[in-house]
Amino acid sequence: MRHWNRPVRALLVVLMVLGSTAVARASEPGEPLRIQVLSNRADLVSGGDALVEIVLPQDADPAAVTAEVDGRDVTGAFAVRPDGRYFGLVDGLALGENVLTAGLPDGRAARITITNQGIGGPIFAGPQIQPWRCIGASRDAQCNRDPVFEWRYKRTSGGSLAAYDPNNPPPDVATTTTDEGKTVPFVVRIERGVIDRDEYRIAVLYDPSKPWEPWAPQDGFNGKLVITHGASCDTHYQMASAPDVLNETALGRGFAVMSHALNNAGHNCNIVTQAESMIMTKEHLVENYGELRYTIGTGCSGGALVQYQVANAYPGLYQGILPQCSYPDAWSSAMQYEDYHLLRDYFEAPHRWEPGVAWGPAEMAAVNGHPNPSNPITFTTVIPDSGRPNRPCAGVPSEQLYHPQNNPNGVRCTFWDYMVNVFGRDPESGLAVGPWDNSGVQYGLRSLMTGRLSPAHFVDINSKIGGRDFDHNWVPERVEAPVSAVAAAYRSGAINDANNLDEVAMIDLRGPDPGAFHDVYRTYALRARLEREYGTAEHQVLWRGFVPLLGDANFVSQGILAMDRWLAAVEADGSDIPLSEKILKHRARSGGDRCTNGAGTDLPARICDVVVESYTTPRIEAGMPFTDDVMKCVKKPLRRSDYFPIQFTPEQWTRLQATFPDGVCDYSKPGVGQADSVAWQTYQDASGAVVYGGTALGPPPASEPFSR
C-alpha cells in the first residue's frame, strides 16, 4: 500500500504527540512570538482550559508580554516557570473558537485559535449514542461531576497497597526511589472523575503535604504515563468503572497510571470513542499534573485490541504499547467471529448435511483453521453477539430494545449501530450498515486443494452456510456489505492495516491458545501486515511463554521496564533520522525477542515455536492472505481449471455455480475498498453534525505571527 498520508502523519506526530511534549526552543532575537498549546491539539481542547506556552524571542522581556483571549486579559496566567519557559494554564475558554493573542511592546505578536468543547464531549467522535445512563450523582445529562480522590500507601512491612488517610498519616509508610533517583513516600493518590460521559482514573505518587503544579510536579512524577485497558469487546449504553490503575511497578518508579472506561473494549468497542476519551483524559492529566515525555499502553485481549487499533488510527497517542493475548483490531477479528457463528449453525445441525457427508473433528478443523473444536464455541459464547439487534445491552431497558414487530423503532444493539458515525446508514431503510461480508468466500478451499477436505464436503458447506439479514436472521444468500461501509472500516482504522505503526514501539506478549479464542495467529497476522507495509516487522518485539494466553506471569511488569528503556533511548536520540528508524535503531534496549518457561526462565526460541502454536481462521483457510484483513474480496469467475486436479461431479459443479453466481474471491488482489487508514479522522463538522465515514483533521493548528 502507498503511504500517501505519511507527510501529514509526520507533522501530526511532531506537533500532536500528547505523550511526548517536547520543550520548545527559545526563539532567536528579532524573531516573532510563537504560541504552543501543550495539553492537546488546539482544535480538540475540552473542559474550558488549556496548558499553553508562549515561546519568547531571546531579546524579549517576559514582564512585557501581554496575552488575551478574545479581548479578555489572560496575561496573569503566564509566568517564567522553573525550567525557564514562559507558560501557564489559560482557563475560562468559551465553547467553540477562542482566539488567543500574545504580543510584545515592539509590535511583534502571535495568535492561535483554540477550539473548546465541553468536558462531556464529543470533540471529534460525532453525535453521541443514545440512550446513555449516568451512574451515580451527576450535574447534567453528560454525567459531569466533581472528581473525588482516594489514597493508598505501601507499608514498610510490604504487602498490597493499604488505605491511607492524609489527615491522619500512618507511621509505617514505605519509601520508593523513582527511575530519576528521587526517594519519596510510597503514597498514591487516585483521582476518579468523569470525562466524555464516563469514568476516568489517574494514579500518581503524591505527598499530600507538598504542593503540585503542572509546571512544578512533585518528585514522585517522572513525566511518563502508563495506560491500562480492559478486556473483551461489547457495546454498552451506560457508564462503567474505569480499569484499575494501581500498577505498583509503574507507580513505584514515578509513572502516572491512567485509565478510562471507554478505553475498556468490553464496555466500548468503538475505536473512535476509545481514542477520543483517551485524548481528553490525557489533556486533563497534562493540565493538572504536568507534561508527558511518553506514553505506554498495557492490556490483554480487548485491551490489546484498543492499543493496536488506536495507535494506528491516531498515531502519536502512544509511543509504546504492550499488547498481551492480542487482537490487531475488532473488525478483522469479527470476520472469524461471524464465520464461526455460521459454521456452528451448520456443523451442529447434522440434519442439514447432504446424505453421505459427515463432519468429524478433522474436517471441521480443516474449515475452522483451529484443531480445537471448542474454540468456535468459546469465542461465540463468551464474547457477546453484537450482530444481533435485539440482544440485551447494558443501559437500555428491555422495553426500549428493538423488536421487529413489537418495537421496530427501538434501540438496535449492534456493533454497526454503535459505530454508525463511522459506517453510515442504508439510504433506503435508514438503518446502520456494517462492513461484514462473506460473498465469494470459499470455505475450506485450502484443505480441498491439499486433500484434507473432499469435494462433497466443500460443496455442501459452501452451498449451505448462507449469511445474515439486517435482523441477524439466517438467510441462504451470502452477505454483501455496502462498499461505503467497507471503505470506511479501512479509512477509520477499524480494520487496522498497520500503515501508521512504524512510529510506535511494540512488545507483543503471547502465550499458547488452549482453545479459548485468543488465537496466536493474530500476533503473526499483525506481523504480516507490518511486513507488507514496511518490509520488516522489527518494530514489534515478540515475547512468548508457556502460560496460556499470557505467556509469563511477569511479562507485563518486565515489559513496562523494557519498553521504558527502549523509549528512553529513542527520546535521547537527537539525530535527524526519522522516528521509525530510531525505534529500529534502539530496539535492542528492549531486550529483543524472548521465549520463557512461563516463570521467568529464558529458553531458546525454537521451544516456543512448538509450544506457542499458531493456527489460522476460516477466511485464511478460504485462501485469504495471512494478513487476515480482506473484509470484502474482489471476485473472479468460477472456473473448473482453478481447482485442478480436483474433480467435481456435474451436480456438484451446478451447486457451486448457484452458490457463487457473481464469482469467487480473488485474494491475489487487495480487497474492495481496502486502502490505508487516514490518520486523525473526525466524524463531526464545525456545528457538531455527523460526518459519516469521517474526514481527516489535518495538521494541528499552529500560531500565526503578525505585527500590531
The answer to whether residue 11 scores a pLDDT higher than 70 is no
Average pLDDT over every residue of 96-123: 97
d(CA 384, CA 391): 9
* Nine cell digits for residue 253: 518508579
Check residue 12 and give its pLDDT. Answer: 40
Q: Burial, 665: exposed, middle or buried (Cβ in 10 Å; 0-12, 13-18, 19+)?
A: buried
Model confidence, pTM: 0.95
Judge whether residue 119 has pLDDT over 50: yes
How confident is the model at residue 28, as a pLDDT? 60
What number is the average pLDDT over the span 646-655? Answer: 98
Indicate whether 210 pLDDT > 60. yes
Going by pLDDT thresholds of 50, 70 and 90, the confidence category of residue 31 is confident
When pLDDT is averaged across residues 240-256 and rounded to a whole number, the result is 98
Task: Classify burial at 663, counting beta carbons within 10 Å of its beta carbon; exposed 0-12, middle 13-18, buried 19 or more.
Answer: middle
User: Would you give the end-to-end CA distance of the chain in angstroms?
Assistant: 48
Q: Read off the C-alpha cell for 426.
A: 442504508
Beta strand pairing call for 45-46 and 108-117: parallel
| The predicted structure's pLDDT at residue 18 | 44
**Segment 44-56 mean pLDDT:** 98
SS3 630: coil
Is the confidence at residue 26, as pLDDT, over 70?
no
Could you give all domains of the chain from N- to C-terminal order, each with its CATH number?
16-118 (2.60.40.10), 148-292 (no CATH), 332-383+420-492+617-665 (no CATH), 494-611 (no CATH)
Please enumerate in sequence order all residues whose Cβ is within 8 A of that of 60, keeping only pairs 6 or more positions apart, or say none: 27, 33, 104, 108
Q: What is the pLDDT of residues 273-325, one digit of tens each?
A: 999 999 999 999 999 999 999 999 999 999 999 999 999 999 999 999 999 99
On whether the CB atoms of residues 33 and 110 are closer than 8 A, the answer is yes
Residue with cell 505503526: 501
Rounded mean pLDDT, 187-213: 98
- Are 471 and 410 in contact, with CB atoms under 8 Å apart? no
**Average pLDDT over all residues of the chain:** 95
Q: CA angle 379-385-389, nearest 5°? A: 175
- C-beta of residue 18 within 8 angstroms of C-beta of residue 295: yes
Give 516-542 as a DSSP string: SS--THHHHHHHHHHHHHHS--TTEEE
**What are the tens digits of pLDDT across the range 338-357?**
999 999 999 999 999 999 99
pLDDT on residue 8: 38
Beta strands in 309-466, from DSSP E residues, in sequence order: 320-324
Mean pLDDT of the 421-436 span: 96
Q: Check residue 184 and give its pLDDT.
A: 98
Question: Residue 581: what pLDDT?
Answer: 98
User: Tell me, what's the pLDDT at 326?
Assistant: 96
Q: Which pLDDT does position 708 carry in this prediction?
A: 86
pLDDT above 50 for 6? no
Q: What is the pLDDT of residues 527-541, one digit of tens each?
A: 999 999 999 999 999
Q: H or E segment at 15?
A: helix 6-16
- Mean pLDDT over 511-516 rounds to 93
Percent share of the chain, pLDDT over 70: 96
Question: Is a pLDDT exceeding 60 seen at residue 444?
Answer: yes
Rounded CA separation 555/600 (Å): 8
- Which range is least confidently modeled, 14-28, 346-360, 405-419, 665-679? 14-28
Share of the chain above pLDDT 90, in %: 95
| Spatial separation of the C-alpha atoms in residues 177 and 149, rounded to whole Å | 23
Q: What is the pLDDT of residues 548-572, one digit of tens each?
A: 999 999 999 999 999 999 999 999 9
Cα-to-chain-centroid distance, residue 486: 19
pLDDT of residue 9: 43
**Confidence at 491, pLDDT banded by 50, 70, 90:** very high
Q: Stretch 627-642: mean pLDDT, rounded?
A: 98
Q: How far apart are CA 624 and CA 4, in angstroms?
A: 25
Q: Distance of alpha carbon 649 from its chain centroid, rounded?
A: 48
What is the C-alpha separation between 59 and 53, in angstroms, rounded? 17
Q: Is the dihedral of CA 9, 10, 12, 17 positive or negative?
A: positive
pLDDT confidence of 19, banded at 50, 70, 90? very low
Residues 6+ apart with CB under 8 A from 192: 147, 148, 149, 150, 199, 200, 201, 242
- Tens of pLDDT, residues 227-243: 999 999 999 999 999 99
605-613 contacts at long range (C-beta below 8 A, 24 or more positions apart): 605/544, 608/544, 608/545, 611/512, 611/544, 611/546, 612/510, 612/511, 612/512, 612/520, 612/544, 612/545, 612/546, 612/551, 613/512, 613/513, 613/520
Amino acid 29: pLDDT:
61
- Per DSSP bridges, beta strands 256-260 and 467-468 are unpaired
